[in-house]
Amino acid sequence: MKVLFALIIAAAIGYLLGSLNFSIIVVQLVRGKDIRTMGSRNAGLTNTYRCCGPACAGLTLLGDLLKGVVAVALARLVAGWLKVGFLPDNDVHYIGYIAAFFAIIGHVFPVYYGFKGGKGVLVGAASFIALDFRVFIALLAIFIVTLALCKFVSLSSIIATAYGPLAVFLMSWIVNGSGFGRSFLYLILSLPMAVMIIWMHRSNIERLMNNTETKFSFSSRIAD
């Protein structure tokens, strides 16, 4: 019963924090506009940068990073307090993946904004700052290298996301020395996160296949 309660709390924390879309909040406060009516109409970091510049994008980045980290940290705190972790060390690491997944769900389908949000890349990546910082560094490196080579934010996000579950497994099993079963569980728990983010990029995948996807450039700004 306590495990179920902890899972429900983790899902609620993740979803409610994930629903705070800082792209929408920042652009509304700073520019008095709705980012969902601008540019690609995606309430995410890339569209915020292209339409509103680095200041708004920086604030969006900070907010979306923090909500992923806080969701995981709070969920693990509650699970630790309830003592629903793996024995004998009360390992509550698994509960963080539940909070992270629902933070992505909240970002994609935010209850505060008519269930229309972004694609969940940033909050998903940020969750790994709290889940395993080394996985976050690995995925960030993959993203940066891919972006430097292809100049497509969407493709870089998809590739880094697809590698996520494998990075989770390898880091847990080989680097941390955790058991195969526990490491495999973390892989399974991280899979829905990756699937959701990649699924949200289906329109980008179509544009990539049609050679109509926009390449990223620091100088690319959409006029007001």
Question: Which own/partner pairs from 164-169 qualify as long-range (CB within 8 Å, at least 24 positions apart)?
Answer: 164/124, 164/128, 164/135, 164/139, 164/190, 164/193, 164/194, 165/190, 165/191, 165/194, 167/135, 167/138, 167/139, 168/131, 168/132, 168/135
Residue with tokens 């109409």: 41
- Start-to-end C-alpha separation, the chain: 54
Question: Quick check: 151 pLDDT over 70?
Answer: yes
pLDDT digits (tens, 9 = 90+) for 34-66: 888 888 787 878 889 889 999 999 999 899 889
Q: Output the pTM of the full model.
A: 0.87
Domain boundaries, the chain: 2-209
Residue with tokens 């940066």: 144
Alpha-carbon distance of 47 to 222, in angstroms, equals 9
Structure tokens at 112: 């505060």
Summarize the confidence of residues 146-155 as an average pLDDT.
92
